[in-house]
Amino acid sequence: MTTALTTLAEATGGVPLAVDLMVILFVAALVATVFARLRLESIPGFLIAGVLIGPGALGLVQDSPRIEQISQLAVIFLMFGVGLHLDPSTMGRGAVHILGIGAISTVSVMGLSAVVLMAAGVDPPVAVLLGMVAGQSSTSVLVRLVTARREIRTVHSRVGLGISIVQDLSAVVLLGLLPPLARWSGVSAAPTAARFEWMEGLPRWAEFIASAAVSTAGLAFLIVLGRAVLPRAMRAVAVTGSSELMIVFAAAIALGAAVGSRVLGFSAEMGAFLAGFLLASTPYRHQLSGQIASLRDVLMAVFFTAVGLSVDAGAVAGVWWIVGLCAVGLVVLKTAVIGVTGWALGMSPRSALLTGFYLSTAGEIALVLVGPAVALGLLSGETLDATIAVIVLSLIVVPLGAPLVHALGDRAAGWRQAGWVKSAALLEPAPVPVKDGEGEGGGPSHVVIAGFGPVGRAIADRLDLMSVPVTIVELNPRTIERQAQIGRRRVVYGDIGNPEVLDSAGVRGARAVIITIPDDEVAMRAIRAARSLAPDVFIAARTNFLSGAFKAQQLGADHVTVEEVATADAMQREVIEALRRRDGGLSVSPTA
């Protein structure tokens, strides 16, 4: 097989990178498909694909610098996306308590993991690194579990997402701690701060302080500049109406911030994260996130598979019992620490248990920490192999164990609350009967209207008179600004066919989605995406022709207004009425 791939590389003009990427993506897609059939996350599938095709198994792909460069690009876009998604408003009620749970539990998991590993004989720097890895959880597993079980609006879902925000923020700090850890371990490390010629000759301590000060000042300048310039620049791009230009500009921002951060001596990942975070406060965040999602997903498949390339399957098989013990220990430790912390700060025992278990995996950000650690020489050999294997097992075990933990959580519902907590912000509200026209939260469900032209405005005005909350999705930035200034309706910038935009508009909890845009192709994409996200939501759409109506209904639309039919009906009535008024004797019924 290896000889055949070499021949293929020669046949493609000596471009082995293309062959390597073909093998990586093909095998990754194959294994991830199997995992999807088993209702498991794709990330462990990508990692296992890397192990299978790597030098430690089939040897189809070697761990090359070219693949490493693509992996670095993937991490930059991942951290840019993490920054875009950081919205503290998702924590809602009890935000202070949630931040406290996140900070205390994350630090506690990292500290306890490091202590346990040091007691087991692991070198202190490596133990601290592995503790940092253990402190990160998989947001994708959390979202998958709460979505599948229709728990998006529950307290444990809200708290879990808040803890994920804290962990994402901590990851940026932890990336900056890797070079000092490498120096502590005695291996060579990249410089942690900018170094200039004028610093030559200064005492070591003075050089360190000067370079750190220059780097910090430079980073602060980039943040201030980005906050002042990026929203205005993004608006100028959005006004053009070109979605291609937006994604190109966003990619340039992510890469530019990564390069600038690296020049200042910080990690490229930190720069990309900050760029995304600065754009998270703009109305363009959801559209950007959805647009870069496809590119990011492909690159992340390469990244996770590339991480698996460095794992020796034979070495893992030799210590399988240690790997299994560590994976179970990680899940139990994180469930206990996060659960107890949540209970102590005001959650019910059931919600605290579910939150802890849903976040007991080692997540994708943990692998982002592993990559630079390998490059710095902190992780290698059996330790690296075992670490990747533990992460993979945790990502598999938690989704499989969810039904069992839910059963245990139902028993825990009768346990006592923490007696010292007076706030009820993190308690599940008492169930109330849901009346017609009300959503799961007890209030009237909102209606999502895509497009705010004459049709969209007419529907929104009628719903306002009925006191039905409306969320508008629109691609015209001027319309977004006007509606935001009025303040009566929630507005979301973006393409309604973009699943990220639909999700941010709250389609999962909406009473209806009304698609009024006069573009059949976009309308069909929107219907498909809305039905996928919310199987029970009522979808009304507008199409130009009767043929489009049949297609819209096949994709899941409940009601379709056909423009040519509506126009024909309105025109015949109006024309006949006008003729009747003009001639008086026209013997045609106006309703004919």
* Spatial CA neighbour of 81 closest among 223, 229, 286, 245: 286
pLDDT digits (tens, 9 = 90+) for 54-69: 887 788 887 667 777 7
Q: Which of the listed residues 412, 437, 465 is the one where a domain comes to its end?
A: 412
The bridge status of strand 512-515 relative to strand 490-493 is: unpaired
Whole-number Å distance between alpha carbons of 471 and 475:
13
Structure tokens at 163: 């803890």
* CB of 364 closer than 8 Å to CB of 85: no
Q: Looking at the structure, do residues 407 and 487 belong to the same domain, yes or no?
A: no
pLDDT digits (tens, 9 = 90+) for 345-393: 888 888 899 999 999 998 777 888 887 888 788 887 788 888 888 988 8
* CB of 167 closer than 8 Å to CB of 106: yes
pTM of the model: 0.68
Q: Which of the listed residues 412, 432, 462 is the one where a domain comes to its end?
A: 412
DSSP code at position 446: P
Residue range of the domain that includes 18:
2-187+220-412
* CB of 480 closer than 8 Å to CB of 491: yes
Token pair 């899940």 is found at 331
Q: Could you give phi then psi for residue 94, rounded to 5 degrees?
A: 80, 30
Whether 423 is covered by a domain: the verdict is no
Whether 424 is covered by a domain: the verdict is no
- Per-residue pLDDT 10s for the chain (592 aa) are 555 445 544 444 445 777 888 888 999 999 989 988 887 778 888 888 888 888 877 888 876 677 777 777 888 887 788 778 766 555 555 677 888 899 999 999 999 999 999 999 889 989 999 999 999 988 777 877 776 676 766 888 888 888 888 887 788 778 778 877 887 877 655 555 555 555 566 665 565 566 666 666 776 777 788 788 888 888 888 887 777 788 888 888 888 888 887 777 677 777 888 888 888 877 787 788 777 877 878 888 888 888 788 777 777 878 888 888 999 999 999 999 999 999 888 888 888 999 999 999 987 778 888 878 887 888 877 888 888 889 888 888 888 888 888 888 888 777 777 777 666 666 665 444 434 444 443 344 789 998 888 888 899 888 888 888 899 898 888 887 787 777 767 888 888 888 888 888 888 888 899 999 888 888 898 899 889 888 888 999 988 888 888 898 998 899 999 888 888 888 888 888 888 887 765 555 555 4
Whether 390 is covered by a domain: the verdict is yes
Q: Looking at the structure, do residues 378 and 523 belong to the same domain, yes or no?
A: no
The bridge status of strand 470-474 relative to strand 447-450 is: parallel
Torsion angle, alpha carbons of 422, 426, 429, 430, to 10: -50
The enclosing domain of 478 has a CATH number of: 3.40.50.720
* Spatial CA neighbour of 14 closest among 25, 1, 23, 5: 5
Q: Looking at the structure, do residues 81 and 138 belong to the same domain, yes or no?
A: yes
The SS3 call for residue 121 is coil
Q: Which of the listed residues 356, 385, 412 is the one where a domain comes to its end?
A: 412
* Spatial CA neighbour of 134 closest among 102, 155, 111, 154: 111
Whole-number Å distance between alpha carbons of 60 and 235:
46
Whole-number Å distance between alpha carbons of 525 and 534:
14
Fill in the amino acid letter for 348: S
Whether 202 is covered by a domain: the verdict is no
Q: Looking at the structure, do residues 346 and 485 belong to the same domain, yes or no?
A: no
The enclosing domain of 400 has a CATH number of: 1.20.1530.20
Structure tokens at 526: 């929107």
* Total count of domains within the chain: 2
Whether 553 is covered by a domain: the verdict is yes
Q: Looking at the structure, do residues 285 and 359 belong to the same domain, yes or no?
A: yes
Q: Looking at the structure, do residues 394 and 480 belong to the same domain, yes or no?
A: no
Residues 6+ apart with CB under 8 A from 590: 573, 576, 577, 580
Q: Looking at the structure, do residues 181 and 228 belong to the same domain, yes or no?
A: yes
Whether 6 is covered by a domain: the verdict is yes
Q: Helix/strand/coil (H, E, C) string of 46-100? A: HHHHHHHHCCCCCCCCCCCHHHHHHHHHHHHHHHHHHHHHCCHHHHCCCHHHHHH
Q: Looking at the structure, do residues 46 and 177 belong to the same domain, yes or no?
A: yes
Whether 255 is covered by a domain: the verdict is yes
Q: Looking at the structure, do residues 481 and 370 belong to the same domain, yes or no?
A: no
3-state helix, strand, coil in the chain (%, to 5): 70, 5, 25
Structure tokens at 516: 């009024």
Whole-number Å distance between alpha carbons of 137 and 128:
17
Q: Looking at the structure, do residues 237 and 144 belong to the same domain, yes or no?
A: yes
Q: Looking at the structure, do residues 504 and 355 belong to the same domain, yes or no?
A: no
Q: Looking at the structure, do residues 34 and 134 belong to the same domain, yes or no?
A: yes
